[in-house]
Structure 1
Amino acid sequence: MTESTLDDEIYDLRFYLQRSVRYHMRRASFFVKWQRITSFVGVVFGSAALTTFIEQVPDAVAIYSALIITVASAFDLVVGTGQHAWQHNDLRKRFLELAGELDARPPSEKLVAYIWHKIRRIEADEPAARELLNLMVRNDVIRSKFSKEEADGLVANICWVKRATANLVDWGIEKY
Protein backbone atom coordinates (compact mmCIF):
# COMPACT_ATOMS: atom_id res chain seq x y z
CA MET A 1 0.00 0.00 0.00
CA THR A 2 1.43 3.38 -0.96
CA GLU A 3 1.63 6.23 1.52
CA SER A 4 -1.10 8.21 -0.26
CA THR A 5 -3.38 5.16 -0.29
CA LEU A 6 -2.73 4.61 3.41
CA ASP A 7 -3.48 8.30 4.07
CA ASP A 8 -6.77 7.92 2.19
CA GLU A 9 -7.64 4.81 4.22
CA ILE A 10 -6.89 6.63 7.48
CA TYR A 11 -8.98 9.61 6.34
CA ASP A 12 -11.87 7.31 5.44
CA LEU A 13 -11.64 5.59 8.82
CA ARG A 14 -11.64 8.91 10.70
CA PHE A 15 -14.62 10.11 8.66
CA TYR A 16 -16.51 6.85 9.30
CA LEU A 17 -15.77 6.97 13.02
CA GLN A 18 -16.81 10.62 13.33
CA ARG A 19 -20.04 9.90 11.46
CA SER A 20 -20.77 6.90 13.69
CA VAL A 21 -20.10 8.88 16.87
CA ARG A 22 -22.41 11.68 15.75
CA TYR A 23 -25.09 9.24 14.64
CA HIS A 24 -25.22 7.48 18.00
CA MET A 25 -25.02 10.80 19.84
CA ARG A 26 -28.13 11.98 17.97
CA ARG A 27 -30.00 8.74 18.60
CA ALA A 28 -29.15 8.70 22.32
CA SER A 29 -30.14 12.34 22.64
CA PHE A 30 -33.47 11.67 20.90
CA PHE A 31 -34.35 8.80 23.24
CA VAL A 32 -33.33 10.74 26.36
CA LYS A 33 -35.48 13.69 25.28
CA TRP A 34 -38.41 11.42 24.49
CA GLN A 35 -38.14 9.74 27.90
CA ARG A 36 -38.06 13.12 29.64
CA ILE A 37 -41.13 14.30 27.73
CA THR A 38 -42.97 11.09 28.62
CA SER A 39 -42.04 11.49 32.28
CA PHE A 40 -43.12 15.14 32.23
CA VAL A 41 -46.48 14.24 30.68
CA GLY A 42 -47.02 11.51 33.26
CA VAL A 43 -46.18 13.77 36.19
CA VAL A 44 -48.17 16.76 34.98
CA PHE A 45 -51.28 14.96 33.80
CA GLY A 46 -51.18 12.52 36.69
CA SER A 47 -50.70 15.10 39.42
CA ALA A 48 -53.34 15.68 42.05
CA ALA A 49 -53.49 19.41 41.27
CA LEU A 50 -54.34 18.80 37.64
CA THR A 51 -56.78 16.07 38.62
CA THR A 52 -58.58 18.54 40.87
CA PHE A 53 -58.67 21.09 38.06
CA ILE A 54 -59.92 18.50 35.58
CA GLU A 55 -62.83 17.62 37.90
CA GLN A 56 -64.13 21.15 37.31
CA VAL A 57 -64.00 20.93 33.52
CA PRO A 58 -65.94 18.72 31.11
CA ASP A 59 -65.45 14.97 31.20
CA ALA A 60 -63.83 15.04 27.75
CA VAL A 61 -60.79 16.88 29.16
CA ALA A 62 -60.32 14.21 31.82
CA ILE A 63 -60.66 11.47 29.22
CA TYR A 64 -58.12 13.15 26.91
CA SER A 65 -55.69 13.68 29.77
CA ALA A 66 -55.88 10.01 30.69
CA LEU A 67 -55.46 9.09 27.04
CA ILE A 68 -52.34 11.28 26.75
CA ILE A 69 -50.78 9.63 29.80
CA THR A 70 -51.65 6.15 28.54
CA VAL A 71 -50.29 6.69 25.02
CA ALA A 72 -47.08 8.38 26.20
CA SER A 73 -46.41 5.73 28.85
CA ALA A 74 -47.21 2.88 26.46
CA PHE A 75 -44.84 4.29 23.85
CA ASP A 76 -42.09 4.65 26.43
CA LEU A 77 -42.67 1.12 27.70
CA VAL A 78 -42.97 -0.60 24.32
CA VAL A 79 -40.13 1.25 22.60
CA GLY A 80 -37.90 1.18 25.67
CA THR A 81 -36.56 4.68 25.20
CA GLY A 82 -34.26 4.47 28.22
CA GLN A 83 -32.72 1.22 27.01
CA HIS A 84 -32.20 2.65 23.52
CA ALA A 85 -30.57 5.76 24.95
CA TRP A 86 -28.07 3.66 26.90
CA GLN A 87 -27.41 1.40 23.92
CA HIS A 88 -26.64 4.30 21.58
CA ASN A 89 -24.52 6.00 24.22
CA ASP A 90 -22.51 2.79 24.65
CA LEU A 91 -22.04 2.45 20.88
CA ARG A 92 -20.91 6.09 20.69
CA LYS A 93 -18.30 5.42 23.39
CA ARG A 94 -17.01 2.34 21.56
CA PHE A 95 -16.56 4.30 18.33
CA LEU A 96 -14.81 7.09 20.28
CA GLU A 97 -12.42 4.52 21.77
CA LEU A 98 -11.56 3.31 18.26
CA ALA A 99 -10.96 6.89 17.11
CA GLY A 100 -8.59 7.27 20.05
CA GLU A 101 -6.74 4.10 19.09
CA LEU A 102 -6.46 5.33 15.51
CA ASP A 103 -4.96 8.62 16.69
CA ALA A 104 -2.62 7.02 19.23
CA ARG A 105 -0.85 4.62 16.88
CA PRO A 106 1.35 5.23 13.88
CA PRO A 107 -0.56 4.69 10.60
CA SER A 108 -0.09 1.25 9.04
CA GLU A 109 -1.95 -1.29 6.95
CA LYS A 110 -2.18 -3.50 10.02
CA LEU A 111 -3.78 -0.69 12.03
CA VAL A 112 -6.34 -0.02 9.28
CA ALA A 113 -7.29 -3.71 9.16
CA TYR A 114 -7.49 -3.87 12.96
CA ILE A 115 -9.76 -0.80 13.21
CA TRP A 116 -12.08 -2.08 10.45
CA HIS A 117 -12.25 -5.43 12.25
CA LYS A 118 -13.26 -3.67 15.49
CA ILE A 119 -15.82 -1.55 13.59
CA ARG A 120 -17.47 -4.69 12.21
CA ARG A 121 -17.72 -6.11 15.73
CA ILE A 122 -19.42 -2.93 16.92
CA GLU A 123 -21.75 -2.93 13.91
CA ALA A 124 -22.89 -6.42 14.87
CA ASP A 125 -24.31 -4.89 18.07
CA GLU A 126 -25.97 -1.93 16.37
CA PRO A 127 -29.71 -1.76 15.73
CA ALA A 128 -30.81 -1.12 12.15
CA ALA A 129 -29.59 2.28 11.00
CA ARG A 130 -31.83 5.10 9.88
CA GLU A 131 -30.36 5.95 6.50
CA LEU A 132 -31.58 9.54 6.33
CA LEU A 133 -30.16 10.22 9.78
CA ASN A 134 -26.87 8.72 8.59
CA LEU A 135 -26.95 11.12 5.65
CA MET A 136 -27.61 14.01 8.02
CA VAL A 137 -24.62 13.18 10.22
CA ARG A 138 -22.50 12.71 7.09
CA ASN A 139 -23.46 16.30 6.25
CA ASP A 140 -22.42 17.34 9.78
CA VAL A 141 -18.99 15.75 9.42
CA ILE A 142 -18.48 17.34 6.00
CA ARG A 143 -19.39 20.74 7.43
CA SER A 144 -16.91 20.21 10.26
CA LYS A 145 -14.07 19.39 7.85
CA PHE A 146 -14.54 21.81 4.97
CA SER A 147 -15.12 25.49 4.47
CA LYS A 148 -18.72 26.60 3.99
CA GLU A 149 -18.22 27.03 0.24
CA GLU A 150 -16.71 23.56 -0.17
CA ALA A 151 -19.23 21.91 2.15
CA ASP A 152 -22.21 23.44 0.35
CA GLY A 153 -21.21 21.57 -2.79
CA LEU A 154 -20.78 18.25 -0.97
CA VAL A 155 -23.74 17.98 1.41
CA ALA A 156 -27.13 16.54 0.60
CA ASN A 157 -30.05 18.95 0.68
CA ILE A 158 -32.67 17.42 2.96
CA CYS A 159 -36.08 19.05 3.49
CA TRP A 160 -36.83 20.33 6.98
CA VAL A 161 -39.74 17.94 7.58
CA LYS A 162 -37.55 14.91 7.00
CA ARG A 163 -34.72 16.40 9.08
CA ALA A 164 -37.14 17.07 11.95
CA THR A 165 -38.60 13.56 11.89
CA ALA A 166 -35.54 11.50 10.95
CA ASN A 167 -35.43 9.90 14.41
CA LEU A 168 -39.09 8.92 14.26
CA VAL A 169 -39.53 7.88 10.63
CA ASP A 170 -37.15 5.71 8.63
CA TRP A 171 -37.38 7.77 5.44
CA GLY A 172 -34.68 6.03 3.45
CA ILE A 173 -32.53 8.05 1.08
CA GLU A 174 -33.97 7.34 -2.36
CA LYS A 175 -35.29 10.89 -2.59
CA TYR A 176 -34.22 13.15 0.18
Structure 2
Amino acid sequence: MNLQDMSDDQFRLLFDVRRSIRYHDRRRAFFERLHQITGGLTVLLSGSVLFDIARPGDSPAWLLALATVAAVLAAWDIVVGYAAKAGLHRDLKARFVALEIRLLASDDSPASWSAHQGERLAIERDEPPIYRALDVLCHNELLRAEGFGQNGGADYSFRVSRIQRLTRHLLHWADIKPA
Protein backbone atom coordinates (compact mmCIF):
# COMPACT_ATOMS: atom_id res chain seq x y z
CA MET A 1 0.00 0.00 0.00
CA ASN A 2 1.37 3.36 -1.05
CA LEU A 3 0.88 6.11 1.54
CA GLN A 4 0.18 8.71 -1.16
CA ASP A 5 -2.68 6.60 -2.54
CA MET A 6 -4.50 6.37 0.80
CA SER A 7 -7.78 8.14 1.35
CA ASP A 8 -8.10 10.51 4.30
CA ASP A 9 -9.95 7.86 6.30
CA GLN A 10 -7.29 5.26 5.58
CA PHE A 11 -4.48 7.63 6.55
CA ARG A 12 -6.32 8.59 9.77
CA LEU A 13 -6.61 4.92 10.68
CA LEU A 14 -2.89 4.35 10.02
CA PHE A 15 -2.01 7.51 11.97
CA ASP A 16 -4.16 6.42 14.93
CA VAL A 17 -2.58 2.97 14.95
CA ARG A 18 0.92 4.47 14.91
CA ARG A 19 -0.02 6.90 17.68
CA SER A 20 -1.34 4.00 19.76
CA ILE A 21 1.95 2.15 19.29
CA ARG A 22 3.85 5.14 20.69
CA TYR A 23 1.34 5.58 23.51
CA HIS A 24 1.56 1.97 24.72
CA ASP A 25 5.34 2.01 24.44
CA ARG A 26 5.44 5.06 26.75
CA ARG A 27 3.02 3.45 29.25
CA ARG A 28 5.01 0.21 29.25
CA ALA A 29 8.25 2.09 29.92
CA PHE A 30 6.57 4.08 32.72
CA PHE A 31 5.35 0.97 34.54
CA GLU A 32 8.65 -0.87 34.05
CA ARG A 33 10.48 2.11 35.55
CA LEU A 34 8.11 2.21 38.54
CA HIS A 35 8.58 -1.53 39.06
CA GLN A 36 12.38 -1.19 38.95
CA ILE A 37 12.46 1.83 41.26
CA THR A 38 10.09 0.21 43.75
CA GLY A 39 12.05 -3.05 43.70
CA GLY A 40 15.38 -1.27 44.11
CA LEU A 41 14.17 0.86 47.01
CA THR A 42 12.62 -2.18 48.68
CA VAL A 43 15.92 -4.09 48.48
CA LEU A 44 17.94 -1.13 49.77
CA LEU A 45 15.60 -0.35 52.64
CA SER A 46 15.20 -4.00 53.61
CA GLY A 47 18.97 -4.46 53.53
CA SER A 48 19.49 -1.70 56.08
CA VAL A 49 16.99 -3.40 58.37
CA LEU A 50 18.81 -6.73 58.01
CA PHE A 51 22.08 -5.11 59.05
CA ASP A 52 20.36 -3.68 62.10
CA ILE A 53 19.01 -7.07 63.13
CA ALA A 54 22.58 -8.36 63.45
CA ARG A 55 23.40 -5.51 65.81
CA PRO A 56 22.68 -6.00 69.53
CA GLY A 57 20.18 -3.71 71.23
CA ASP A 58 16.99 -1.99 70.21
CA SER A 59 16.48 -0.64 66.72
CA PRO A 60 16.18 3.13 66.37
CA ALA A 61 12.82 4.53 65.33
CA TRP A 62 14.10 5.77 61.98
CA LEU A 63 15.17 2.24 61.06
CA LEU A 64 11.74 0.90 61.92
CA ALA A 65 10.31 3.64 59.72
CA LEU A 66 12.58 2.48 56.88
CA ALA A 67 11.34 -1.08 57.34
CA THR A 68 7.77 0.17 57.19
CA VAL A 69 8.46 2.16 54.03
CA ALA A 70 10.06 -0.91 52.44
CA ALA A 71 7.04 -3.04 53.31
CA VAL A 72 4.62 -0.42 51.97
CA LEU A 73 6.59 -0.09 48.72
CA ALA A 74 6.66 -3.86 48.19
CA ALA A 75 2.95 -4.16 48.97
CA TRP A 76 2.10 -1.24 46.68
CA ASP A 77 4.04 -2.83 43.82
CA ILE A 78 2.20 -6.11 44.33
CA VAL A 79 -1.25 -4.55 44.71
CA VAL A 80 -0.97 -2.07 41.84
CA GLY A 81 0.88 -4.60 39.71
CA TYR A 82 3.39 -2.46 37.85
CA ALA A 83 4.87 -5.49 36.08
CA ALA A 84 1.43 -6.73 34.99
CA LYS A 85 0.49 -3.27 33.69
CA ALA A 86 3.76 -3.08 31.76
CA GLY A 87 2.94 -6.48 30.26
CA LEU A 88 -0.55 -5.33 29.26
CA HIS A 89 0.85 -2.30 27.42
CA ARG A 90 3.55 -4.47 25.81
CA ASP A 91 0.82 -6.78 24.47
CA LEU A 92 -1.34 -3.89 23.26
CA LYS A 93 1.63 -2.37 21.45
CA ALA A 94 2.36 -5.71 19.78
CA ARG A 95 -1.25 -5.99 18.62
CA PHE A 96 -1.17 -2.47 17.17
CA VAL A 97 2.16 -3.20 15.42
CA ALA A 98 0.65 -6.34 13.88
CA LEU A 99 -2.34 -4.27 12.73
CA GLU A 100 -0.02 -1.67 11.17
CA ILE A 101 1.78 -4.41 9.25
CA ARG A 102 -1.53 -5.76 7.95
CA LEU A 103 -2.68 -2.23 7.05
CA LEU A 104 0.40 -1.59 4.95
CA ALA A 105 0.34 -5.03 3.33
CA SER A 106 -3.34 -5.05 2.39
CA ASP A 107 -5.12 -3.75 -0.65
CA ASP A 108 -7.19 -0.61 -0.40
CA SER A 109 -10.57 -2.26 -0.86
CA PRO A 110 -13.37 -1.01 1.40
CA ALA A 111 -13.87 -4.51 2.80
CA SER A 112 -10.27 -4.85 3.98
CA TRP A 113 -10.30 -1.37 5.52
CA SER A 114 -13.55 -2.14 7.33
CA ALA A 115 -11.94 -5.28 8.71
CA HIS A 116 -8.96 -3.24 9.89
CA GLN A 117 -11.29 -0.72 11.56
CA GLY A 118 -13.01 -3.59 13.35
CA GLU A 119 -9.68 -5.00 14.47
CA ARG A 120 -8.65 -1.61 15.82
CA LEU A 121 -11.89 -1.37 17.79
CA ALA A 122 -11.32 -4.87 19.18
CA ILE A 123 -7.86 -3.85 20.41
CA GLU A 124 -9.21 -0.60 21.89
CA ARG A 125 -11.87 -2.59 23.75
CA ASP A 126 -9.04 -4.22 25.74
CA GLU A 127 -7.30 -0.92 26.51
CA PRO A 128 -7.46 0.64 29.96
CA PRO A 129 -8.68 4.27 30.11
CA ILE A 130 -6.49 6.60 28.05
CA TYR A 131 -4.29 9.27 29.61
CA ARG A 132 -5.16 12.14 27.27
CA ALA A 133 -2.07 14.30 27.84
CA LEU A 134 0.22 11.39 26.99
CA ASP A 135 -1.93 10.50 23.98
CA VAL A 136 -1.72 14.09 22.73
CA LEU A 137 2.05 14.18 23.24
CA CYS A 138 2.33 10.99 21.16
CA HIS A 139 0.07 12.62 18.54
CA ASN A 140 2.31 15.70 18.35
CA GLU A 141 5.47 13.57 18.24
CA LEU A 142 4.06 11.47 15.39
CA LEU A 143 3.14 14.62 13.46
CA ARG A 144 6.77 15.73 13.67
CA ALA A 145 8.02 12.24 12.75
CA GLU A 146 5.73 12.14 9.70
CA GLY A 147 7.02 15.54 8.57
CA PHE A 148 3.94 17.61 9.36
CA GLY A 149 5.78 19.81 11.88
CA GLN A 150 7.99 21.44 9.28
CA ASN A 151 5.27 22.83 7.03
CA GLY A 152 1.99 23.64 8.65
CA GLY A 153 1.70 20.80 11.16
CA ALA A 154 0.74 23.27 13.88
CA ASP A 155 -2.83 23.13 12.56
CA TYR A 156 -3.02 19.52 13.72
CA SER A 157 -0.99 19.66 16.92
CA PHE A 158 -2.20 20.22 20.47
CA ARG A 159 -0.87 22.48 23.20
CA VAL A 160 0.10 20.63 26.37
CA SER A 161 0.82 22.68 29.48
CA ARG A 162 3.78 22.00 31.73
CA ILE A 163 1.58 20.57 34.50
CA GLN A 164 -0.20 18.31 32.00
CA ARG A 165 3.17 17.16 30.69
CA LEU A 166 4.45 16.42 34.21
CA THR A 167 1.30 14.48 35.19
CA ARG A 168 0.73 12.76 31.84
CA HIS A 169 0.93 9.28 33.41
CA LEU A 170 -1.06 10.19 36.53
CA LEU A 171 -4.09 12.28 35.48
CA HIS A 172 -6.53 11.75 32.61
CA TRP A 173 -6.84 15.44 31.50
CA ALA A 174 -9.96 15.57 29.34
CA ASP A 175 -9.71 19.26 28.31
CA ILE A 176 -6.71 19.48 25.96
CA LYS A 177 -7.40 21.73 22.98
CA PRO A 178 -5.66 22.08 19.59
CA ALA A 179 -2.86 24.65 19.49
Structure 1 residue 133, shift from structure 2 partner? 1.8
Higher helix share: 1
Kindly report which structure 2 residues correspond to 1:56-67, keeping only aligned pairs within 5 A, or say none. 59-67=60-68
What residue is the counterpart of 1:162 in the other structure?
164
In terms of mean alpha carbon deviation, does 41-50 or 138-147 score higher? Answer: 41-50
Helix, strand or coil: the match of 1:65? Answer: helix
What residue is the counterpart of 1:39 in the other structure?
39
CA distance in 1, matches of 2:78, 2:96: 28
Structure 1 residue 28, shift from structure 2 partner? 0.7
Is the alpha carbon distance of 1:63 and 1:150 closer, same or farther for their aligned partners in structure 2, counting shifts above 3 Å? farther
Deviation string 1:117-152 (CA, Å, 9 cap, x unpaired) is 101111121111122221121111112122345334
Q: In the comparison of the two structures, how many residue pairs are matched?
A: 171
8 Å contact kept, 1:132–1:173: no
What residue is the counterpart of 1:114 in the other structure?
115
What residue is the counterpart of 1:90 in the other structure?
91
Identity %: 28
Kindly report which structure 2 residues correspond to 1:1-150, keeping only aligned pairs within 5 A, or say none. 7-48=7-48, 51-52=51-52, 59-145=60-146, 146-148=148-150, 150=152
8 Å contact kept, 1:6–1:108: no
CA distance in 2, matches of 1:150, 1:109: 30
CA distance in 1, matches of 2:69, 2:129: 29
Task: Read off the aligned partner of 1:167 and give its amino acid letter.
Answer: H
Structure 1 residue 25, shift from structure 2 partner? 0.6
Quote the RMSD (CA, aligned, Å): 2.7
8 Å contact kept, 1:6–1:109: no
CA distance in 2, matches of 1:147, 1:175: 17
CA distance in 1, matches of 2:136, 2:151: 19
CA distance in 1, matches of 2:121, 2:129: 14
Deviation string 1:32-57 (CA, Å, 9 cap, x unpaired) is 0000001100111111587449x79x
Q: 2:174 aligns with which of 161, 172, 175?
A: 172
Q: Unpaired runs of 5+ in structure 1?
A: none
Deviation string 1:65-111 (CA, Å, 9 cap, x unpaired) is 12321332222111111111001100000000000001112222112
8 Å contact kept, 1:28–1:86: yes
CA distance in 1, matches of 2:69, 2:177: 34
Structure 1 residue 158, shift from structure 2 partner? 1.3
Q: Unpaired runs of 5+ in structure 2?
A: none
Is the alpha carbon distance of 1:39 and 1:113 closer, same or farther for their aligned partners in structure 2, counting shifts above 3 Å? same
CA distance in 2, matches of 1:165, 1:71: 23
What residue is the counterpart of 2:153 in the other structure?
151
